[in-house]
């Protein structure tokens, strides 16, 4: 159950950087080994904006969506981020803020739900992409399921490229027990987890 009374306003995202899109594509790799250094709230805000942030007054976002139906929801499982308590938060793109969903440390539980992939527990933060299929299938029928999966891929690649631009490492994870992740994040009955994406500083 989301507690709308606990909100965190996020720092405004940057819209430029010192690295080109071509360089981020060249350097994109899957990274599973992270240092124990915390992320900043600004870094987390930038990652969330890259995933589903608003880019136009009409509500368009950083990742394309079939018919602008936007079926994705983004959660962050915080374990070591400056200026924010551990817990599970849902990203609200239009307000560019976080809403607390679950109190306390949840990374180890998330790692256990993902077949004990311990780098999920070691990363300072884990993003989780979920989908509400009805937003898209209500317009496009069964084929909308494909569109949702395409959109999740777009959003996940955005995380990869933004992580490179921030000199961070990340990897997408698809192996997990849906029911366990659903319980950890307290997802709605019509919401399905699609990706777990740990992010952290790259260990030399």
Report the number of distinct structural domains present in the chain. 1
Tell me the per-residue pLDDT of 60-115, one tens digit each, with 9 for 90 and over.
999 999 999 999 999 999 999 999 999 999 999 999 999 999 999 999 999 999 99
Mean pLDDT of 164-175: 98
Q: Is the pLDDT at 2 greater than 70, yes or no?
A: no
42 within a domain of the structure (yes/no) = yes
Percent of all residues in the chain with a pLDDT value above 90, rounded to a whole number = 97
Tell me the per-residue pLDDT of 31-50, one tens digit each, with 9 for 90 and over.
999 999 999 999 999 999 99
Instruction: Tell me the β-bridge partners of 197.
Output: 127
2 within a domain of the structure (yes/no) = no
Strands 168-170 and 192-201: antiparallel
Range of the domain at 66: 7-201
Q: Is the pLDDT at 169 greater than 60, yes or no?
A: yes
Whole-number pLDDT of residue 4: 55
Three-state helix/strand/coil letters over the chain: CCCCCCEEECCCCCCCCCCCHHHHHHHCCECCCECCCCECHHHHHHHHHHHHCECCCCCCECCCCHHHCCCEEEEEEECCECCCCCEEEEEECCCCEEEEEEECCCHHHHHHHCCCCCHHHHCCEEEEEEECCHHHHHHHHHHHHHHHHHHHHHHHHHHHHHHHHCCEEECCECCCCHHHHHHHHCCCCCCEEEEEEEEEEECC
Percent of all residues in the chain with a pLDDT value above 70, rounded to a whole number = 98
Number of neighbours of residue 110 by Cβ within 10 angstroms: 26
Average predicted confidence (pLDDT) for the chain: 96
Whole-number pLDDT of residue 25: 97
132 within a domain of the structure (yes/no) = yes
Mean pLDDT of 144-150: 98
Q: Is the pLDDT at 164 greater than 70, yes or no?
A: yes
Q: Is the pLDDT at 189 greater than 70, yes or no?
A: yes
Q: Kindly report the pTM of this predicted structure.
A: 0.95
1 within a domain of the structure (yes/no) = no
| Domain containing residue 128: CATH number | 3.40.109.10
Given a contact cutoff of 8 angstroms between Cβ atoms, the answer to whether 155 and 110 are in contact is no
Whole-number pLDDT of residue 59: 96
124 within a domain of the structure (yes/no) = yes
pLDDT band at 204 (very low <50, low <70, confident <90, very high): confident
Q: Is the pLDDT at 1 greater than 60, yes or no?
A: no
Q: Is the pLDDT at 188 greater than 90, yes or no?
A: yes
127 within a domain of the structure (yes/no) = yes
Strand order across the beta sheet in which 192-201 lies: 7-9, 97-103, 87-92, 72-78, 125-131, 192-201, 168-170
């Amino acid at each position: 159950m989301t507690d709308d009374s606990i909100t965190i306003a996020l720092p405004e995202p940057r819209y430029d950087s010192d690295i080109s899109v071509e360089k981020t594509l060249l350097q994109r790799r899957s990274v599973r080994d992270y240092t124990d250094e915390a992320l900043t709230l600004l870094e987390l805000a930038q990652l969330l904006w890259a995933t589903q942030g608003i880019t136009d007054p009409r509500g368009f976002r950083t990742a394309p969506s079939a018919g602008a139906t936007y079926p994705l929801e983004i959660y962050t499982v915080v374990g070591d981020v400056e200026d924010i308590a551990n817990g599970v938060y849902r990203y609200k793109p239009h307000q560019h803020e976080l809403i607390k969903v679950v109190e306390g440390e949840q990374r180890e539980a998330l790692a256990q739900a993902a077949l004990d992939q311990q780098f999920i527990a070691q990363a300072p933060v884990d993003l989780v992409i979920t989908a509400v299929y009805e937003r898209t299938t209500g317009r496009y029928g069964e084929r909308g399921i494909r569109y949702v999966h395409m959109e999740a891929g777009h959003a996940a690649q955005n995380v990869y490229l933004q992580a490179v631009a921030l000199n961070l490492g990340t990897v997408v994870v698809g192996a997990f027990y849906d029911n366990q992740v659903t319980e950890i994040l307290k997802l709605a009955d019509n919401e399905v987890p699609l990706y777990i994406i740990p992010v952290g500083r790259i260990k030399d």
